[in-house]
Structure formats: C-alpha cells, structure tokens
Amino acid sequence: MKRTFIVLGAFALGLAIAGGAWAGSKYLITSASQVKPGSLNGYSIKDGSLGLRDLSGHANAVLGKPGFSGAFYVDQTYTETVGVGAIATAACDPADDTNSQKYIAISGGVQDTDSSTDMTTNNNQVAVAASFPGRMDWNTYTPKAGRLDGWIVQFAHVGSQDNNLAVWALCVPKSDFGGSLPVHTY
C-alpha cells in the first residue's frame, strides 16, 4: 500500500511538472505572430523590461540620441563694465543666428571672472534680477518671442558694477526633443 502511494505521488508530481511546462510554453510569447495587433499597451509591458535595442530603427530615430550626445556649453565673456540694470547674454551659436536656432538652452547662469576660483574673495558682487532662456531683441530690449537658443541675464538696479563677467548656457540640439521643447506657462 505504501508503495502505491509513492508511485501515485510520483505520477502526480510528474503531471504537475509537465502541466506547468505545457502551460508555460502555451502562454509564453516568443514571436510577434502570437500577439493580436493593438492588444498590448503600456500597461502590458513591465517597466524597465525594454531597452533601445528592443525598438525598431524608426522608433530609435524618433526618440533621438540618448544622453544629449550633442549637448555643449557656451560662454560669452564680457570685459567691459557690466552693472546695474545691464543685460548680458550667451547664444548657442553667437556667430550664426540660423544655426543657433537648431539648439535649446536648457540651463544657464552668470559668473564673475575677475576673482579667483575662491568665491569668498569676490568683492564685486552684482545682483541678478533675472536669468532665463532666450534671445534678446536689441532694438526693443525685450526677449524675442519663441527663441530659447541662448541665455539672458539681467542685473538688478542695486549693487556694484563689474568689468569681467561670463554668461553660460547649456545648449542641446532641438532634435533631442523631437524638434521642439514645449513651454508651459501657469
């Protein structure tokens, strides 16, 4: 009797293993022909399970290059007196306005370049009133509409003047964003 239970138990275990393997092979997706078009969506795919190598060449081209491979810093150095109320800028391409518009400045700022790298020795502190992406229309002294291919810094009407400043911008190809970067105003 004991032997019968062992044999029946081994047989049941064998059926369970074989049934699981059969079910696994039946429901494991191994090719696109097993999936009805339009039946999968973003919720059907586990986060992090797909990489760029899993996407088609067209999908990779639409997504752009990973890691902002075309990004670069640009800085515009000012050696003349810059001070209260002044505006200083850095363009993604200061020599070519058309080429500059192929980029978007995603970050920027201003630096006092006449002091050493020790920021505590800076005694020509110029207050900043505004710092934002854009390009200036020097005829109207207003930012150009829709232009994000540079960085603008306006100094406050307080503080002192400085003879050595640099405006920095981190420029990224528009193609990394699919051709444009939306601006949401709230």
- Extract the tokens encoding 1: 């009797």
Sign for the CA dihedral angle at 59, 92, 132, 183 comes to negative
pLDDT tens-digit readout, 133-166:
999 999 999 999 999 999 999 988 666 666 778 8
Euclidean distance between the first and final Cα of the chain, in Å? 80
String of b and e for 34-60 (b: at least 16 CB within 10 Å)?
Answer: eeeeeeeeeeeeeeeeeeeeeeeeeee
Whether the pLDDT of residue 55 is over 70: the answer is: yes
| Residue from 90, 139, 137, 92 nearest 110 by CA | 90
Element (H, E) at 132: strand 126-133
pLDDT tens-digit readout, 8-53:
455 555 555 555 544 555 567 777 777 788 777 777 777 777 777 7
